[in-house]
Structure 1
Amino acid sequence: MLVGSSSALPGWTRSLFDSKPLKQDQFAILAHAVGHNRWKLLVLEQIKARPLCWKEQADGLVEPSLNSFDFTGICSRYLDSNGYSLRTAGDDTKKSVRLRLRQRRNGLELQALDPNRSTAVVVAKARQTRRNKDAFVRLKLEPGWQLERRAYQGRTLSHVYFANSESLNQLRAKASKRPSHSFRMSTMAKLPRAPRPPSLYAGKGPIQLEVIPFRP
């Protein structure tokens, strides 16, 4: 494997890169809780079978066991945009499209978002949002997405893609047709409410009142 990023190789542009398939079960896409409400994305790769680079815990979180040994040549970590990026329809996406983790009521979403566009494309999801500084939440890729290796003229680089065979415009069009959570909530708010039970004083005609004579 040729180690290095494209920024360290002068004259290389995104259009020159290719990609190669990867064994998906050798990777873990993880979210690490940072501070009170932020999340950080990282990808772990199991290069050799043993020792394990991560372990699933009983509570559903993932323990980064690679921190307990010298993982050189055994595990790889991809911690930021130097290590991973987006690729759609066989080409690298433009730099303005970023990966971000967004917490929702029912879990976490890894989204591809262009700040100039309102529609985000969901790349991966997790059903839980438990925050633990010593353990990670594992995300599962959405249908159509897979991890691929960046390559140049047949040589593989230490960079992975979140890749989809469809174009970003096609993915945005599909995403825009799906009702969002806020849309569903606003729709529910507009549903007609059940009529209230009639008041004890409701009815036709005057209400008969008891007259008490005044006595000085």
Structure 2
Amino acid sequence: MAGLACLAPALATALPRAAGAQAQLQVQTLFGAREVPQERFVLVAAPIGDGSRAQLNIYEQITDRRPCFATSGASPARVDPLLGSFDFTGICSRYLDANGYSVRVGGADLATVYRLSVVRSGNDNLLLAAPTRNQSGPEMVVARTQGHDAGFLLFVPEPGWKLMRRHFGNRALGHLYLYRETWPTAAASASEGPPKPATPSQGAQPKAETLLKPEPLPKAKPLPKAEPVPLPAVPAANGVKPPGGATPPPLPKAP
């Protein structure tokens, strides 16, 4: 019984941890991702307000009754969002914000830990996936417009990125993933780290033990032996004998 009492605190700590790990696993596997025909979608940098900023829109062509969008030009390509000019119910789909799309890498659904934003970079616009506040992870460039201009611009996905649809079991949901099979790796030059200092050639520098071994100190010469110096006799005063017991001569008598 004493042994069980000792194990109780450890079990009380371990069980919630195990339950938390199981819950996390369930969240990760709750939704699946399935392929979609990439040619029926466009990723768009849609201008906001005065056009100085933009956000991600995704347009989908569901049926061929009417075109939902048109593209023209290159670097950057322009997009004409035709679906905005008619009732596109059952013909087109439009995904405008985080309710309609999110980031996924492999089996990790990153909807709650990564956000997508359009960032101006020189003469280009980047679709950037970055960790949300209090989260950690690498920033990832998902797509580029490959140039800048006014209006709606076409995003070209970076290598490895594509669209997939979120599924719950066999049920397709109205949510898209900006998907990558694996996390992107850094450039080889960055992964190698800082250059190491040059190593001197063999024999160009003395061995460590030679450098650290101190030179022997010369032996000290013995000092000459000091001979005792005799003290001179001091006359006694008031009958006190001087050191050594010597008796001084008698003082002369007064006249």
TM-score, scaled to structure 1? 0.68
Partner Cα separation in structure 2 for residue 176 and residue 96 of structure 1:
27
Matching residue's letter, 2:67: L
Matching residue's letter, 1:158: G
Q: 3-state SS of the aligned residue for 1:15? A: helix
Partner Cα separation in structure 1 for residue 173 and residue 189 of structure 2:
36
Query: Is 1:48 matched up with 2:63?
Result: yes
Cα offsets for 1:151-197 (capped at 9, x unmatched)? 01111000000011103xxx2x426967xxxxxxxxxxxxxxxxxxx
Cα offsets for 1:56-80 (capped at 9, x unmatched)? 2358311111112111100000010
TM-score, scaled to structure 2? 0.58
Alignment CA distance shift 1:127-1:42 (3 Å): same
Question: Could you tell me which residue of structure 1 aligns to residue 186 of structure 2?
Answer: 174
Alignment CA distance shift 1:156-1:94 (3 Å): closer
- Amino-acid identity (%): 36
**Consecutive unaligned residues in structure 1, runs of 5 or more:** 1-11, 179-216
Q: Given that residues 121 and 175 in structure 1 are in contact (C-alpha distance below 8 angstroms), is that contact kept between their aligned partners in structure 2?
A: no
Question: Could you tell me which residue of structure 1 aligns to residue 156 of structure 2?
Answer: 140
Matches within 5 A, 1:69-148: 69-93=86-110, 95-114=112-131, 115=133, 116-117=135-136, 119-132=138-151, 136-148=152-164
Query: RMSD of aligned C-alpha atoms?
Result: 2.4
After the TM superposition, list the runs of 4 or more consecutive aligned residues in structure 1 that deviate by more than 4 angstroms. Answer: 115-119, 175-178
Q: 3-state SS of the aligned residue for 1:174? A: coil
**Consecutive unaligned residues in structure 2, runs of 5 or more:** 1-25, 191-255
**Greater strand fraction, Structure 1 or Structure 2:** 1
Matches within 5 A, 1:128-207: 128-132=147-151, 136-167=152-183, 171=184, 173-174=185-186
Matched positions, count = 161
CA-CA distance at 1:91 after TM superposition = 2.1
Partner Cα separation in structure 2 for residue 153 and residue 97 of structure 1:
23
